[in-house]
Amino acid sequence: MARTIAVLGASGTGKSTLVDRMCALEGQPHPAAAPGELRVATFTHLDETWQAIDTPGSIELLHVATDALLAADAAVVCVAPDAAGALLASPYLHAVEAAGTPAIIFINRIDEATDRVRDIVAALQDYAGQPIVLRQVPIRDGGQVTGAVDLVSERAWSYREGAPSTLIELPAGMLDREQEARSALLEHLSEFDDHLLEELIDDKEPPSAEVYAICAKILAENRAIEALIGSAAHGNGIVRIMKALRHEAPPPAALRERLQAQASLSEPPIAVVFASAHRKHLGKTLLLRALEPLAAGRPVGGRPAGQLTPADPRDSHHLDEVPEGMIVSAVKADHLSAGRLATAGELHETPAWHRPQPPVAYRILAPVAERDSVKLSGALASLAEGDSALIVSQDPATGGALVGTQGPLHLRLVRQRLKDVFGMEVDEVLPAADYRETISRSHETAYRHKKQTGGAGQFADVRLVIAPGARGSGFTFSEVVKGGAVPKNYIPAVEQGAEDAMERGPLGFPVVDVSVTLTDGQAHAVDSSDMAFRIAGRQGTREALKAAGPVLLQPVCRVAIHAPALFTGSLGPIISSHAGQVLGFDTDPDAKGWERFEALVPGSVLGPLANDVRAATQGVGWFESSFDHYEELHGKAADRIIQERAKEPA
């Protein structure tokens, strides 16, 4: 039974180094990571098989970290050894909490620590729903951390470069500090265990075995997060964290039950498909984790799971049977896709916590080479299959391929994959905001369409009144024609013509909130036709629109910015600088230590706003936006948009 850990945390906190070191404990080689993708490293430790999923740290790739959580029995959250770094750890603490994954915090780079470990833990606690219990304290010599004391066993260890630590006497002068930290740990733990509480009240020393058992229980039940310290680069604290995982990480059955409950499945899933990559020459390769033994030919989600090989891309030997807990890659499994839970017979959606944040940046992509234009949407669709945060659609205004990403780094990765896998280079364009136009006053117009070319002529005559409608009313049409001046059967054609004119108004944008009334007209017994009346309706409406004081409408969006509470104060001025209106803020129910800040902003500023929010929140803030209403835009800003639009082809 192979257990799996997901290693996540902010960029540069040493996740990859930690995974490499874990593999190195028993001298096992590890595969290299592809940029932006998760890496599965398999290694043994004391006769047990482990799989570590190394994830990229950029906040724009948070969705890759949550993919890993789909397949993880436990998570290791790597954090920097300074209290200020807690902020950057917060998205990962929230992700782990939402997923319900038992977690251990690894305070890495302890060789560089300047802050006290308890201050780091206190800072992290601001963002963690569960209590964080510190299991080790550093031994310092001068400014340097030279080892760690285990607060359960009360043993002191001296670090050695790239080698397991050696047991030493607890340094003189450390006893008080160690005792204080141990009391804090026991007090924390006693909240979860009545027997321990009684022992503490009676002033009895609890045996280490009992304390270890409580630690294992609270991790498995996900009631607290333990914090360990170490230095991945120097190989310190690696054995210690493996020891904690070995004793405390739950078996795959716990993940199976958790996913079943979260996704409300009537039977337990037998596998989870948590990632996919499109590889040149190989096609779609999926990573799936067996949550039950998969005997040869056993269907996964209705059909056999294709050709299975070990997760390590360098090992291509074919697997007939897959033991419980093992991660494998599957090729030629066309019925499967990433982000699915499989029972034997069916495929199901993953739980809600696995949904990525909405895109923060939109671009229209166009292939550089003409011949690629038909291939682009297919290529993007297959990339989106393995990238839950890549949202692909068609730009309604231009028909181009509109991609929504988590930011510039994510977009760059998408472009790189288009190039590497599909050999396609693309240009990117910022999509225009979705402007509209309307009219500011009523106008009456008469229009006669008359043509005499050769045989049959064309004749239609209409009198139209157009008037501004209420905001949100769109286009309405009515008629008050008396005495059949325009025969009934031609009236739908006039309406159609008027509607045609709404597609692009005199300012160049779709027209909304206008009512058109047909009041009178004339028909000709021979030359009138639906087509003639449609043309008259269209041209008449166009002329009327021009004369009715057209005004530009800009979309106004409601945004909910999610950011650490610390930064909420700086969001108000940002909203004002974009001509937005603050609606208010509240604590974020899904993210401890964060707030949800609501505002109305013009749709045209969503792009710059995304950058400003990132810049003001050390990169971790994000927002959701939805269209709210249209409002009139006048003056220079409007003129500029209208002039830009006039340059584009109709």
Ligand X SMILES: Nc1nc2c(ncn2[C@@H]2O[C@H](COP(=O)(O)OP(=O)(O)OP(=O)(O)O)[C@@H](O)[C@H]2O)c(=O)[nH]1
Contact residues toward ligand X (CB under 6 A) are 11-17, 56-57, 78, 108-109, 111-112, 231-234
Q: Which option in Mg ion, ligand X, none does residue 604 bind, with CB closer than 5 to 8 A by kind?
A: none
Q: Please answer whether residues 405 and 361 qualify as being in contact, where contact means their C-beta atoms are separated by less than 8 angstroms.
A: yes
Tokens of 406: 């988590």
**Residues 309, 310, 314, 318, CA torsion sign:** negative
Residue count of the chain, please give it.
650
Please identify, using beta-carbon distances, which residue of 36 and 386 lies nearer to Mg ion: 36
Cα–Cα distance, 583 to 575 (Å, whole number)? 10
Choices 8-16, 218-226, 382-390, 518-526 (CB under 5 A): range interacting with Mg ion: 8-16
Q: Which option in ligand X, Mg ion, none does residue 233 bind, with CB closer than 5 to 8 A by kind?
A: ligand X
Please identify, using beta-carbon distances, which residue of 16 and 406 lies nearer to Mg ion: 16
Q: Which option in Mg ion, ligand X, none does residue 112 bind, with CB closer than 5 to 8 A by kind?
A: ligand X
What are the residues whose beta carbons fall under 8 Å from the beta carbon of 322, sequence distance 6 or more?
A: 290, 293, 294, 308, 328
Q: Which option in ligand X, Mg ion, none does residue 529 bind, with CB closer than 5 to 8 A by kind?
A: none
Q: Which option in ligand X, Mg ion, none does residue 17 bind, with CB closer than 5 to 8 A by kind?
A: ligand X
Cα–Cα distance, 325 to 72 (Å, whole number)? 10
CA 225-229-231 angle, 5° bins: 140
Place of tokens 């430790």: 45
Cα–Cα distance, 601 to 268 (Å, whole number)? 45
Choices 10-18, 116-124, 193-201, 305-313 (CB under 5 A): range interacting with Mg ion: 10-18
Place of tokens 């069916």: 346
| Single-letter code of the amino acid located at 49 | T
Please identify, using beta-carbon distances, which residue of 66 and 222 lies nearer to ligand X: 66
**At its nearest, how many Å lie between Mg ion and the CB of residue 15?**
5
**At its nearest, how many Å lie between ligand X and the CB of residue 32?**
12
**At its nearest, how many Å lie between ligand X and the CB of residue 58?**
7
Cα–Cα distance, 470 to 499 (Å, whole number)? 17
Measured in degrees and rounded to the nearest 5, phi and psi for residue 119 equal -70, -35
Q: Which option in ligand X, Mg ion, none does residue 222 bind, with CB closer than 5 to 8 A by kind?
A: none
Among 16, 101, 406, 539, binds Mg ion (CB under 5 A): 16
Burial state string for 384-397 with b = 16 or more CB within 10 A and e = fewer than 16 = bbbbbbbbbeebeb
By beta-carbon distance, which residue lies closest to ligand X? 57
Cα–Cα distance, 518 to 537 (Å, whole number)? 9
Choices 9-17, 311-319, 373-381, 595-603 (CB under 5 A): range interacting with Mg ion: 9-17
Please identify, using beta-carbon distances, which residue of 14 and 339 lies nearer to Mg ion: 14
Among the residues of 15-72, which ranges form H helices?
15-24, 62-70
By beta-carbon distance, which residue lies closest to Mg ion? 16
Q: Which H/E stretch holds residue 141? A: strand 136-141
Please identify, using beta-carbon distances, which residue of 161 and 169 lies nearer to ligand X: 161
Q: Which option in Mg ion, ligand X, none does residue 11 bind, with CB closer than 5 to 8 A by kind?
A: ligand X
**At its nearest, how many Å lie between Mg ion and the CB of residue 13?**
9
Please identify, using beta-carbon distances, which residue of 57 and 521 lies nearer to ligand X: 57
**At its nearest, how many Å lie between ligand X and the CB of residue 358?**
23
Q: Which option in ligand X, Mg ion, none does residue 13 bind, with CB closer than 5 to 8 A by kind?
A: ligand X
Q: Which option in ligand X, Mg ion, none does residue 359 bind, with CB closer than 5 to 8 A by kind?
A: none
Tokens of 289: 């984790």
**At its nearest, how many Å lie between ligand X and the CB of residue 542?**
57
**Residues 154, 103, 563, 258, CA torsion sign:** negative
**At its nearest, how many Å lie between ligand X and the CB of residue 240?**
13
**At its nearest, how many Å lie between Mg ion and the CB of residue 324?**
28
| Single-letter code of the amino acid located at 225 | I
Q: Which option in ligand X, Mg ion, none does residue 109 bind, with CB closer than 5 to 8 A by kind?
A: ligand X
**At its nearest, how many Å lie between ligand X and the CB of residue 629?**
41
**Cα 477 from chain centroid?**
43
Please identify, using beta-carbon distances, which residue of 37 and 479 lies nearer to Mg ion: 37
Cα–Cα distance, 568 to 562 (Å, whole number)? 9
Please identify, using beta-carbon distances, which residue of 284 and 614 lies nearer to ligand X: 614
**At its nearest, how many Å lie between ligand X and the CB of residue 366?**
31
Please identify, using beta-carbon distances, which residue of 16 and 625 lies nearer to Mg ion: 16
The 3-class secondary structure across 345-407, one letter per residue, is: CCEEECCHHHCCCCCCEEEEEEECCHHHHHHHHHHHHHHHHCCCCCEEEECCCCCCEEEEECC
Cα–Cα distance, 298 to 321 (Å, whole number)? 9
| Single-letter code of the amino acid located at 340 | R
Q: Is 46 helix (H, G, I), strand (E, B) or coil?
A: coil
Choices 15-23, 374-382, 406-414, 422-430 (CB under 5 A): range interacting with Mg ion: 15-23
**At its nearest, how many Å lie between ligand X and the CB of residue 122?**
21
Cα–Cα distance, 632 to 554 (Å, whole number)? 6
Q: Which option in ligand X, Mg ion, none does residue 532 bind, with CB closer than 5 to 8 A by kind?
A: none
**At its nearest, how many Å lie between ligand X and the CB of residue 81?**
8
Please identify, using beta-carbon distances, which residue of 77 and 255 lies nearer to ligand X: 77
Cα–Cα distance, 59 to 104 (Å, whole number)? 20
Q: Which option in ligand X, Mg ion, none does residue 14 bind, with CB closer than 5 to 8 A by kind?
A: ligand X
Q: Which option in Mg ion, ligand X, none does residue 462 bind, with CB closer than 5 to 8 A by kind?
A: none
Please identify, using beta-carbon distances, which residue of 35 and 487 lies nearer to Mg ion: 35
**At its nearest, how many Å lie between Mg ion and the CB of residue 300?**
30
Please identify, using beta-carbon distances, which residue of 54 and 495 lies nearer to Mg ion: 54
What are the residues whose beta carbons fall under 8 Å from the beta carbon of 442, sequence distance 6 or more?
A: 465, 466, 467, 468, 548
Q: Residue 202 carries which DSSP code?
A: T
Q: Which option in ligand X, Mg ion, none does residue 458 bind, with CB closer than 5 to 8 A by kind?
A: none
Please identify, using beta-carbon distances, which residue of 33 and 556 lies nearer to ligand X: 33
Q: Please answer whether residues 151 and 174 qualify as being in contact, where contact means their C-beta atoms are separated by less than 8 angstroms.
A: no
Q: Please answer whether residues 135 and 151 qualify as being in contact, where contact means their C-beta atoms are separated by less than 8 angstroms.
A: yes
Place of tokens 């082809």: 649
Q: Which option in ligand X, Mg ion, none does residue 420 bind, with CB closer than 5 to 8 A by kind?
A: none
Place of tokens 């190394």: 54
Please identify, using beta-carbon distances, which residue of 61 and 571 lies nearer to ligand X: 61
**At its nearest, how many Å lie between Mg ion and the CB of residue 39?**
8
**At its nearest, how many Å lie between Mg ion and the CB of residue 352?**
27
| Single-letter code of the amino acid located at 596 | R
Residue 569 buriedness (CB in 10 A; 0-12 / 13-18 / 19+):
exposed
- If one asks whether residue 515 binds Mg ion (CB under 5 A), the answer comes out as no
Please identify, using beta-carbon distances, which residue of 76 and 305 lies nearer to ligand X: 76
Choices 11-19, 179-187, 234-242, 598-606 (CB under 5 A): range interacting with Mg ion: 11-19
Neighbours of 353 (CB within 10 A): 18
Number of residues that bind Mg ion (CB under 5 A): 2
For Mg ion, the binding residues (CB under 5 A) are: 15-16
